[in-house]
Amino acid sequence: MTVYPEALAEHLAREVTTVCHCWRLIRADGVVSGFTDHDRPLTVDGTLFEPETGFSASEARDTLGLAVDTVDIEGALSSARISEADIAAGLYDRATVETLLVNWRRPQDFARLRKVTIGKVTRSDGRFVAELESLAYALDRPSGRYITRACDAELGDARCGVALDHPDYTGAGAVLSVETAETVAVSGLDGFATGWFSHGTINWTTGARAGRSERIVGYRKDAAGVSLTLRPGGGLALGVGDAFTVKAGCDKTFTTCKAKFANTLNFRGFPHLPGNDAAYNYVVDGGKFDGDPVVP
């Protein structure tokens, strides 16, 4: 429930009001931008809110219970602080958006209507539409562990325990040529076998994507050289000479955990989990029912 300051509440009780909406956008990297549907710039709560180049919002609804409330914001890519390349690069994914109701004649009188996070962002014809997820959205997500054969830990985290700073699991190099938007020929990784960095991460140290981390889809080494295939949607173009560091990857299987990392004691999956056929099987003549593991 929104709590309105006394001065703003008195203003809203009048027959004629001078209010507008302001949206404060806080990216995950800490960059803050402000937008408003008013026709002049406003400074509210220490943030400058731009007119015209900002957002327009869809209907906002609050529901009882755990139903998920969502709001859409739409805007043209006309602000110098929002670029299509940054949206494509994911800089606005999971960003926080605060909606303020402001008396534009007295900007110090404002109320915070809601605080949400950006979910899916779609782009077309020079415009973007971002779906805003309310705080209740997190309560609607499944929690806990899934019982699957694959590991549910992230390689190198506390549950996994693999030390990714070991020389066997890290490398560095530079881009030799750009084959496609997602595939690049690289140097510096000749000492690693094919697939070693598949499902791993790459951190760019120079170039247009410097400071960003991306997922590696595939790592190939053959007679033609070494190449990396990255997850689509990086946005900014790669260039020859862009330097990087890479971390080994894991496909979450028990075989890889054992052969590549010798980390079977920390494997966080259930590789011997019986399949549906075994779970729904029934006693038949000649079957083996001595209590031994179904999968040796």
Q: Same structural domain for residues 11 and 63?
A: yes
* Residue 274 resides in a domain: no
pLDDT of 41: 92
> 159 in a domain, yes or no?
no
The answer as to whether 158 is a domain residue is no
pLDDT on residue 211: 85
**Domain tally, the chain:** 2
Looking at the fold, whether 20 and 130 belong to one and the same domain comes out as yes
Q: In this model, does residue 136 exceed pLDDT 70?
A: no
294 band by pLDDT with thresholds 50, 70 and 90: low
- Structural domain of residue 92, as residue ranges? 6-140
Which pLDDT value is given to residue 64?
44
Of 20-34, 108-122, 202-216, 270-284, the one with minimum mean pLDDT is 270-284
Question: Of 140, 158, 193, which closes a domain?
Answer: 140
Whether 41 and 135 map to the same domain: the answer is: yes
Query: What tens digit of pLDDT does each residue of 267-280 get?
Result: 999 988 777 766 66
- Residue 25 falls inside a structural domain: yes
Quick one: 182 and 117 in the same domain?
no
Same domain, 13 and 133: yes
Domain co-membership, 55 together with 129: yes
Q: Is residue 46 part of a domain?
A: yes
Q: What is the mean pLDDT of the chain?
A: 82
Q: Is residue 254 part of a domain?
A: no
Task: Tell me what pLDDT residue 74 has.
Answer: 53
Same domain, 188 and 230: yes
Residue-wise pLDDT tens digits, 72-108:
555 544 456 677 677 777 777 788 888 899 999 999 9
Do 79 and 193 share a domain, yes or no?
no
Beta-carbon contacts of residue 66 (< 8 Å; ≥ 6 apart) = 136, 139, 140
Same domain, 27 and 116: yes
**177 shares a domain with 122:** no
Average pLDDT over residues 135-147: 73
**More confident position, 25 or 130:** 25
For residue 263, pLDDT beyond 90: yes
Domain boundary among 122, 140, 158: 140
Structural domain contains residue 133: yes
Q: The domain that contains 42 carries what CATH number?
A: 2.40.10
Q: Are residues 121 and 171 in the same domain?
A: no
How many C-beta neighbours within 10 Å does residue 101 have? 18
Summarised one tens digit per residue, pLDDT across range 171-220 is 999 999 999 888 999 999 999 999 999 999 999 999 988 888 899 999 99
Asked, for residue 271, whether it belongs to a domain, the answer is no
Same-domain pairing of 127 and 218: no
